[in-house]
Amino acid sequence: MPSSPAPHVERPCRPSSMACGLHPASPPGPGNSFRFAPRPPGPAAALLAMLALALLVPSPSSHAQAWPSRPLRVVVNFGAGGSTDVIARAMAAPLAESLGQPVVVENRVGAGGNLGLELVARSQPDGYTLLHSSDGALLINPFLYAMQVDVDRDLAPVAPTGRSALFLIARNGLPVKNVAELVALARANPGKLNYGSAGVGTLQHIATEMFARETKIDVVHVPFKGSQQVLADMLGGRIDFTFDLGAAIEQIRGEKVRLLAVPTGTRSPIFPAAPTLIEAGTPMSIEWLSGIYVPAATPREIVARLNREIARVMQTPEARATLATTAAEPAAAQSPEAFAASQRKARARFGAIVKEAGIRLN
């Protein structure tokens, strides 16, 4: 007797699937059976599917939440051993410990600080490439160089790191003991006294132009290629005075040059006996400031995190001790927004001085 054909049974979907249902493929009868077939998802199933997809697609802030997942690079746009470099390295180790990732300091020198600045401005805005620069490169260079980037548009200020007073010093052979006597001597000998700077458009140059305008004196600018060369010629009796950035600290202590004043709002903790320029009768205040910057499109969450961490690590005793070796101290903490606003204000101020003094690169 021939056997009846085996019933056709399709592989069922898993009973746990919400998209399964029991549907007759054909009317029940001999040789037929029920089979499981997919059922179009209902509203609840569609909602769950959308939620699952949303969990798989990263939100705009998920990258910031995962940051940092690899080493950070801090580009210093001035040479190794200078104040900008020393402050960056003082910050790097504690910042690395705080973030849980290495922080590598890299010097990219050239074009008055523009080389490193422009490199960072054109980098990916992912929080892994930072610029540590003194503010002169961002406040003065835009008025002197044909820069490849717009510092106000292409870089975002994150946090100030260090601040340092300039020191108004004069050679020992110059017959002056204070600011008033320097001004009187310069007025009596217009165009006869000279001053040195680390180069055209540097902070020393701008500071002396501001001083000359406030005191109405006519003095001759002698640009060098660094502060150490200025100091060497002052010790040799060839430079009358300068605004020193800290290169002459030991010479001031050894009385090889004469400290007349500091151009900041408060006296220097290193030389508290020296008056400020305001106390000496010249209404002028200027100071050297360094800070961290990132490409402008860097996520705000990353900028805020960096701001908090930098403000904290710069106040550690270790950082303070290192900065003191270059006559610097930690800058007061500022939010990214406040730091950016102060930079814009200072840029306008320095730009006006550059234009009024007719300062140009050769």
Q: Among 69-78, 91-100, 199-208, which is the least confidently predicted range? A: 199-208
The secondary structure of residue 242, as a DSSP letter, is E
Residues 6+ apart with CB under 8 A from 71: 101, 102, 103, 104, 128
CA distance 229 to 264: 24
* 139: Cβ contacts below 8 Å, ≥ 6 apart: 343, 346, 347, 350, 351
Q: Report the pLDDT value the prediction gives residue 325, as an integer from 0 to 100.
A: 82
Where is 153: in which H helix or E strand?
A: helix 151-154
Could you tell me the pLDDT band of residue 287, with boundaries at 50, 70 and 90?
confident
Please tell me the predicted confidence (pLDDT) of residue 102.
98
Q: At what angle do helices 83-99 and 317-324 cross, to 10 degrees?
A: 170
Tell which residue, 93, 85, 87, has the closest CA to residue 116: 85
What is the pLDDT confidence band of residue 60, given thresholds at 50, 70 and 90?
Answer: very low
SS3 content of the chain, % helix, strand, coil (to 5): 40, 20, 40
Distance CA 291, CA 256 (A): 32
pLDDT in tens, 165-181: 789 999 999 999 999 99
Higher pLDDT, 79 or 9: 79
DSSP state of 255: T
What span, in angstroms and rounded, lies between the C-alpha atoms of 135 and 139?
A: 6
Contact 350, 286 (CB under 8 A): no
Is pLDDT larger for residue 151 or for residue 5? 151
Mean per-residue pLDDT for 314-327?
89
Burial of residue 167, with CB atoms counted within 10 A of its CB: 0-12 exposed, 13-18 middle, 19 or more buried: buried
Taking alpha carbons only, the member of 359, 86, 355, 356 closest to residue 247 is 86
CA pseudo-torsion sign 228, 231, 237, 240 = positive
Cα 89 from Cα 72, distance rounded (Å): 13
Q: Cα separation of 142 and 199, whole Å?
A: 16
- For 11-58, the pLDDT digits (tens) are 444 444 333 333 334 444 444 433 434 455 555 555 555 545 444 544
| Helix (H) or strand (E) segment spanning residue 39 | none
Whole-number percent of the chain with pLDDT over 90: 66
Q: Label residue 289 by pLDDT band (50, 70, 90).
A: very high
pLDDT at position 63: 47
CB distance 135 to 350 below 8 Å? no
Domains and CATH numbers, the chain: 71-162+289-357 (3.40.190.150), 167-261 (3.40.190.10)
Which residue, chain included where needed, has tokens 């500091």?
262
> What pLDDT is attached to residue 83?
84
Q: Give the type of residue at 30.
A: P
Strand pairing category for 287-295 and 129-134 = antiparallel
Residue corresponding to tokens 């305001």: 278
* Phi, psi (degrees; rounded to nearest 5) at 37: -130, 150
Q: Is the peptide bond before 2 cis (omega within 30 degrees of 0)?
A: no
The mean pLDDT of the chain is 85
pLDDT confidence band for 79 (50 / 70 / 90): confident
**Pair 168, 179: CB distance under 8 Å:** yes
Of 285, 283, 280, 282, the C-alpha closest to 265 is 285
Q: What is the pLDDT of residue 161?
A: 97
